């Protein structure tokens, strides 16, 4: 199969397509972190006193913590003093009031990324909140949503316009003491998205945020908070890219979801941060804490993620199933090609009665990539009739990569039923040959097999994202079969 191997190898060499730099004047804080930086950041954002107090609390706690080492990843140590904790496009001192006020160059960036805000506003019915480095540049569709009582705005705006909601929910799912990266985020987060869907309201469109790291030597620390009040429903999409740089950039985000009684939150991510080059130079360190709480009975939180980018991914979108009959789901495709390393999975904590969770994880390892699934299913004593089903599959392409599975199952209730299955397979020469012999190119054959492998996850994504995810996977995998 030498010829197909060569074909495939030729295919891998494609470039990172989102790797361009936007030339806008940036206003940044000098690199380094201390209490003054936290105060300056809060002051720049004109935050109320409770926010500064919270940030300082987090910062002081962070000083007592050490970086976690348990994940199946290796990377050069991060110098937290070399990072700039605030970076904003300088052109407009005040946040833009409408798209017309947004720097045309920024809009161009989004155009290149395939997210033309204007067009989307008109055609696609997707409300987009775009975060460029540290600040939210524009949020579309705000008016239409506001008429239904839905709040969709940048986190900074929420702090000013809805402080009572922020104060009530911020840090209730991911406390500022949670873990090293979440605590750092709590101290220095710059912006992010905020969503509140009132009682009984079904959000009529997909809400979407696009994150992009542009400035060099900056970290991105955004924070997202989504609250679905009783009986509300919302679907939220998140996409991420970063330009190519030969240094590693840190992304330490926190996402908190709160689903009250009967509410449903669906959170989808397509993560395509710059993965570094073939030799592992550069790329984003994606150290993210995502967690949702089903606070009321029959609440539902569903995470879907397609993780193709980042040099290192460290991320476990989780669900606390507090309410009776609440449901948690995690659908994931994670790819590790070249020198990428991913340690990702989920935690499903069954607290209420009749709580159900489903985990479907598809890990693809290629090149010298290392891909680990790490998951925890915990059934507490009171979680009568809790059910979990976990399916965890790995696909290996090439003999230099690795696929690892670390599921933790802890059961303290005899009426619970927990099932975990894991398999490992590879794309075999015989499969490739068979498909090629039927007229498919090696590339198409690989993509067919990989898409088949990921189908259960892709079908959870909103249509347009599913198409994008498939393409992204195709591009990210080029040349990966050996």
Partner 1 sequence: MTAPVSDSRPLYLDAINAQRAALPGQTVPAIRTLREEGQARFAELGFPTARLEDWKYTNVSAIAGQLFKPVNGALATVSSEQLHSHLFADLPAHRLVFVNGRHAPALSSVGKLPAGVIVGSLAEILATRPNIVEPHLGKIAPTGTNGFTALNAALFADGACVHLARGAVAEQPIYIVYVSTGDTDSVMTTPRNLVVLEESAQATVIEQYLALDDARYLTNVVTEAALGANSRLEQYRLQQESTKSYHIGTWYVRQARDSRFISHTVDLGGLLARNDLHDILGAEGAECEFNGLYVVDGRSHVDNHTCVDHAKPRGTSREYYKGVLDGMARAVFNGRVVVHPDAQQTDAQQMNNNLLLSRNAEVDTKPQLEIYADDVKCSHGATVGQLDTDALFYLRSRAVDEQTARDLLTYAFANDVLSRMKLAAIRLPLEQRLTTRLLRGRSLNELELI
Q: Which stretches of the chain bind partner 1, using CB under 8 A? A: 70, 72, 379, 381, 394, 396-426, 428, 482
Nearest-approach distance from CB 401 to partner 1, in angstroms: 7
Decide whether 125 or 428 has the Cβ nearer to partner 1. Answer: 428
Nearest-approach distance from CB 7 to partner 1, in angstroms: 18
Nearest-approach distance from CB 87 to partner 1, in angstroms: 38
Decide whether 190 or 344 has the Cβ nearer to partner 1. Answer: 344
Nearest-approach distance from CB 292 to partner 1, in angstroms: 24
Nearest-approach distance from CB 108 to partner 1, in angstroms: 42
In 133-173 the beta strands, taken as DSSP E runs, fall at 135-139, 151-154
Backbone torsions φ then ψ of 381, nearest 5 degrees:
-55, -40
| CB within 8 Å of 247: residues ≥ 6 apart | 216, 217, 282
Nearest-approach distance from CB 107 to partner 1, in angstroms: 44
Q: Report the C-alpha gap between 382 and 310 in whole angstroms.
A: 39
Decide whether 102 or 396 has the Cβ nearer to partner 1. Answer: 396
Query: What tokens does 311 get?
Result: 């040099």
* Residue 333 burial (C-beta neighbours within 10 Å; 0-12, 13-18, 19+): buried
Alpha-carbon distances of 344 from 180, 315, 316, 410, rounded to whole Å = 16, 5, 5, 19
Nearest-approach distance from CB 403 to partner 1, in angstroms: 5
Nearest-approach distance from CB 318 to partner 1, in angstroms: 17
Decide whether 198 or 402 has the Cβ nearer to partner 1. Answer: 402
Decide whether 242 or 411 has the Cβ nearer to partner 1. Answer: 411
Decide whether 242 or 386 has the Cβ nearer to partner 1. Answer: 386
Q: Report the C-alpha gap between 422 and 416 in whole angstroms.
A: 20
Smallest CA-to-CA distance from 275 within 283, 286, 263, 285 is with: 283
> Is 201:150 a contact under the CB 8 Å cutoff?
yes
Task: Return the bridge partners of 291, or none.
Answer: 256, 318
Decide whether 217 or 417 has the Cβ nearer to partner 1. Answer: 417
Q: Report the C-alpha gap between 283 and 416 in whole angstroms.
A: 42
Count CA atoms closer than 13 A to 399's CA, side-chain side: 2
Decide whether 245 or 374 has the Cβ nearer to partner 1. Answer: 374
């Amino acid at each position: 199969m030498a010829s197909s191997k060569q074909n495939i190898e030729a295919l891998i060499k494609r470039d990172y397509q989102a790797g361009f730099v936007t030339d806008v004047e940036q206003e940044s804080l000098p690199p380094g972190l201390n209490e003054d930086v936290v105060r300056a950041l809060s002051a720049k954002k004109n935050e109320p006193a409770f926010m500064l107090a919270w940030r300082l609390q987090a910062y002081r706690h962070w000083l007592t913590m050490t970086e976690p080492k348990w994940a199946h990843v290796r990377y050069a140590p991060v110098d937290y003093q070399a990072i700039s904790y605030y970076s904003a496009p300088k052109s407009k001192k005040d946040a833009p009031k409408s798209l017309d006020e947004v720097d045309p160059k920024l809009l161009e960036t989004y155009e290149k990324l395939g997210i033309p805000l204007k067009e989307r506003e008109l055609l696609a019915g997707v409300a987009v909140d775009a975060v460029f480095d540290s600040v939210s540049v524009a949020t579309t569709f705000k008016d239409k949503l506001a008429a239904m009582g839905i709040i969709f705005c940048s986190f900074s705006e929420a702090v000013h316009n809805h402080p009572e909601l922020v104060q009530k929910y911020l840090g209730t799912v991911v406390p500022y003491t949670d873990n090293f990266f979440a605590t750092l985020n709590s101290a220095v987060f710059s912006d992010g998205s905020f969503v509140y869907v009132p009682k009984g309201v079904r959000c009529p469109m997909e809400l979407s945020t696009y994150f992009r790291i542009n400035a060099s030597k900056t970290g991105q620390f955004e924070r997202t908070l989504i609250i679905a009040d009783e009986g509300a429903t919302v679907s939220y999409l998140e996409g991420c890219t970063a330009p190519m740089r030969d240094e590693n950039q840190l992304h330490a985000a926190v996402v908190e979801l709160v689903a009250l009684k009967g509410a449903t939150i669906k959170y989808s991510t397509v993560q395509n941060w710059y993965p570094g080059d073939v030799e592992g130079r550069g790329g984003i360190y994606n150290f993210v804490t995502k967690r949702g709480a089903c606070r009321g009975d029959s609440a539902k939180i569903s995470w879907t993620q397609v993780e193709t980018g980042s040099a290192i991914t460290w991320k476990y979108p989780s669900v606390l199933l507090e309410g009776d009959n609440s449901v948690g789901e995690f659908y994931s495709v994670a790819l590790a090609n070249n020198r990428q390393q991913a340690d990702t999975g989920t935690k499903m904590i069954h607290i209420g009665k009749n709580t159900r969770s489903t985990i479907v994880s598809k890990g693809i390892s290629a090149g010298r990539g290392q891909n680990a699934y790490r998951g925890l299913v915990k059934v507490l004593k009171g979680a009568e009739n809790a059910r979990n089903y976990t399916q965890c599959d790995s696909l290996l392409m090439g003999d230099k990569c690795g696929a690892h599975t670390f599921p933790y199952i802890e059961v303290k209730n005899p009426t619970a039923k927990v099932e975990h299955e894991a398999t490992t397979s590879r794309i075999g020469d015989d499969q490739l040959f068979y498909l090629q012999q039927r007229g498919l190119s090696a590339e198409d054959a690989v993509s067919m097999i990989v898409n088949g492998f990921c189908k259960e996850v892709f079908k959870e994504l909103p249509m347009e994202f599913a198409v994008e995810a498939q393409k992204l996977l195709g591009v990210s995998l080029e040349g990966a079969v050996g």
